[in-house]
Amino acid sequence: MKLYTDHGNFQTLKIIVASEISGVKLEIVHTKSDEKVVTYLSSCKLPALEVHPEKFLFSANAAARYLTNLSWKETDPSALDQWLEWESAVLLPIVFPYLVSLIGQGKTEEHQLTCIHGYLEHLDTELNGRQAFCGDQVTVADIVLWSSLYPVLNGKFCLKGWESQYKHLQAWNSHLANLQPFKAAVKIVLGDRDTSVLKASLLAQPVPQRAKDVGQAGQQ
Amino acid sequence: MAEAGQSIAALAAYLGVKAGKVTLDGRDKIPVVKGKTGTRRGLVSIAKHLVRAAEKNSLLGKTIEDQSAVDQWLEYRVSQLDSCQGDKELTVVLKELNTYLADKVYIVNHIMSLADILLYYGLHTHFVGMPYYDKENYMHVSRWFDNIQHEEGVRQTLPYVHFLRTQIYDRMSH
């Protein structure tokens, strides 16, 4: 199965973790950041998982969930729906531009930091007394959230002092980081280098947007 | 919020289930429904829950692959269609769908799914005022839209959108 992506695209982490867990051999095809793989899309949105020849999943969450479902049986699909939707509709439209500013341009704005802290606190509270976001086992919700937050919580550009501020989140983050599938994914996407390798892809990829009719209120 | 609330109400009516009151979450500004079986957060999650409650799970896709394709296009409704600020972004969405639907009757795998229904509801406000030559321009989306609005019970109380049968406009470049 082919996974098309540009170099250092942090959204591929969740797909690679899922493939490692489900034992699906992925052939990673590196393309240039501005190369269009999914022909009907107007942007060069990557990564794209080619499930069958010419049949693509251009949603990284849908691809990760597809791969995990090849080996897991979902016990609470509605809870997973809600976490994956929260990640794509609420979290990523804040985290992505934050990383573009931080890693791409070397500075972040106050309102971005406020939003990030707000969401980390929410996640920390959700993890109080728990090992995972849905039930007590690792699910695609953990994979998706861990992967999208990886550059925020790990490496050279990680948020100063978050470990002491969000203890449950810290335990969860390091627990997953030490599992083989997660370690392997980081190795594949980052090699032995730091999160600065994400820069080119962050600057090239389209920025995820929030839904309009609630958008303005969300970006105070 | 209007579009999400409208879509959930129409979907619940189509499925013959009660949706409950749709409110806006204070922090995340996403639609929320507090029902007997707990709170559901997010348009897609609420819609998928209603389908399960109506025991019409085939609308979510029969195989794992179809389910992930349905999920992908449900996410597309929220992150691409509902995030359109103006005509420029809407044109991008219509062009993408038009290319994608060129060789397809339904969004996923030859059978109507929740993806068709939620995209139809999401596009409806834009199609109501759309001039004929624009509908011509997005011929495949128009054909798909016209087909979905004729599906039994989907349209509910939404106004009917007219499409010209004959192509009276030649292929001028716009």
Let me know if residue B97 belongs to a domain: yes
* CB-closest option in A41, A122, A215 to B83: A215
Residue in A with minimal Cα distance to B33:
A82
Residue B140 domain boundaries: 4-162
Q: Which of A185, A197, A131 is nearest to A14 (CA)?
A: A185
pLDDT of residue A220: 32
DSSP alpha helix (H) spans, A36-166: 60-69, 77-86, 92-99, 105, 110-126, 140-153, 162-165
Residue in A with minimal Cα distance to B73:
A59
Task: Mark yes or no for CB contact A85/B52 under 8 Å.
Answer: no
CATH number at residue B104: 1.20.1050.10
Q: Are A49 and A1 in contact (CB under 8 A)?
A: yes
Q: Does A101 touch chain B (CB under 8 A)?
A: no
Number of domains in chain B: 1
Task: Mark yes or no for CB contact A88/B83 under 8 Å.
Answer: no
Q: Are B111 and B60 in contact (CB under 8 A)?
A: no
Closest-CA distance, B92 to chain A, in angstroms, reads 7
In the predicted model, what is the mean pLDDT of residues B118-130? 95
* ipTM (interface pTM): 0.94
Suggest the residue from A83, A213, A216, A220 to mutate for an interface test with chain B (most B CBs closer than 10 A): A213
Residue in A with minimal Cα distance to B52:
A78
Distance, in Å, from the CA atom of B146 to the CA atom of B162, rounded to the nearest integer, reads 8
Residue in A with minimal Cα distance to B43:
A85
Let me know if residue B170 belongs to a domain: no
Let me know if residue B169 belongs to a domain: no
* Residue A179: both structure tokens together: 């599992």
Let me know if residue B173 belongs to a domain: no
* Residue B94: both structure tokens together: 């219509």
Distance, in Å, from the CA atom of A41 to the CA atom of A17, rounded to the nearest integer, reads 25
pLDDT along chain A (220 residues), means of 10: 97 98 97 91 96 95 98 96 98 97 94 96 97 96 98 97 98 98 98 96 94 49
* CB-closest option in A51, A61, A217 to B29: A217
Let me know if residue B12 belongs to a domain: yes
Let me know if residue B140 belongs to a domain: yes
pLDDT of residue A33: 79
pLDDT tens by residue, B68-117: 999 999 999 999 999 998 999 999 999 999 999 999 999 999 999 999 99
Let me know if residue B26 belongs to a domain: yes
DSSP alpha helix (H) spans, B60-109: 64-76, 87-100
Let me know if residue B174 belongs to a domain: no
pLDDT higher than threshold 70 for residue B166: no
